[in-house]
Amino acid sequence: MANVLRNSAKFGFSGVLSQLSIHSRHGRECVSPCFSLQQRNNSTSPKIKVDLDSSTGVAVLRMQSPPVNSLSLDFLTEFCINLEKLEMDRSCRGLIITSTLSKVFSAGLDIMEMYGKSPERCGEFWKAVQEMWLKLYGSNMATIAAINGSSPAGGCLMSIGCDYRIMVDNPRYSIGLNETQLGIVAPFWFKDTLVNTVGNRAAELSLELGLLYSAPDALKIGLVDQLVPEDQVLSTAQDTMSKWLAVPDHARQITKSMMRKQTIDKLLSNREADITNFVSFITKDSIQRSLRMYLEMLKSRKA
């Protein structure tokens, strides 16, 4: 443990996760699945926009992938590359994640990435999901989710991967890990992150029933930390960030590592098995049928 803490202090918490890095700390590009996928991405419009204020050391990462900021392989790749760049930039100490879309923070994993895809592609996708969580949950930066819309499933995972959550005070927006409602099971590291956030009992209820909480209910169980009016989400996140950054970085980072390392290590040591599990689960006929029904439900709700 002492070694881990020393290494965390020396290289930063994300340094402990160095085998996952897209780039090395020295800025050299490493061959990684995420990077090669980015090269294959033909889309010209970025799904992520990052503004780093060098006077405050705070970056705002805006998700801008209509209609619902769903986490596709391309989206996750771009997200990870941006996160890694910020992580390597010593001038960046804090990260605020928000959405440019009205009403939606993120709809979670892109269901189309899990429906009718080859096992190889599903494996690639799942590795990118793991990567996103590992980078975010293990980030050296202070991280705040400015949740300005609904945030189900993977959107909730992204939110609870941050250090602090500020949500719009609007009961129409919901957040939660609703996987069971889709007939799928939240993986152990989704569960662990939720338990670390709201405690065991609330997590158990939440996961088994696939509950989506309205913003006020999410505050009640501690799934979010604060509710504010819509037009104050970003400014409140900026104010809150300055409090986080008033704490000496090394002390905050080592403490964060102490709190999160066990959870992160659990996935790191089971990463391949987790991919295998995901692929064999998601490609089952019965699960594919559940996903198709869910997609149809989403479309019919609109009609």
Which active-site residues does the annotation give? 109, 154, 178-179
Residue 126 makes CB contacts below 8 A (sequence gap 6+) with 274, 275, 278, 279
Per-residue contact string for residues 25-64; x = within reach of ligand CO8 by CB under 6 A: ----------------------------------------
For residue 164, the minimal CB distance to ligand CO8 (Å) is: 21
Q: Which helix H or strand E contains 60, and what residues bound it?
A: strand 58-63
Please state the closest distance from residue 14 (CB atom) to ligand CO8, in A.
Answer: 24
Q: Which is nearer to ligand CO8, 237 or 279 (CB)?
A: 279
Residue placing its CB nearer to ligand CO8 in the complex, 70 or 130: 70
DSSP one-letter string for 161-213: TSSEEEEES-TT-EEE--GGGGT----HHHHHHHHHHH-HHHHHHHHHHT--E
Are 158 and 136 a contacting pair, CB within 8 Å? yes
Q: Which one of residues 57, 94, 108, 161 is an interface residue with ligand CO8 (CB under 6 A)?
A: 108
How do strand 174-176 and strand 213-214 relate by DSSP bridges?
Answer: antiparallel
The pair of three-digit structure tokens given for residue 60, joined into one six-digit string = 């705002």
Residues within window 119-158 making contact with ligand CO8, judged by CB under 6 A: 150, 152-154
The answer to whether 35 touches 161, Cβ cutoff 8 Å, is no
Binding mask 176-215 for ligand CO8 (x = CB under 6 A): --xx--x-xx-x----------------------------
Residue 163: how many other CB atoms lie within 10 Å: 22
Residue 68 in the binding site for ligand CO8 (CB under 6 A)? yes
**What string marks each residue from 251 to 280 as x (binds ligand CO8 by CB under 6 A) or -?**
---------------------------x--
Pairing of strands 174-176, 149-152: parallel
* Footprint on this chain of ligand CO8 (rule: CB under 6 A): 67-68, 70, 103-104, 107-112, 150, 152-154, 178-179, 182, 184-185, 187, 278, 281-282, 298-299, 302
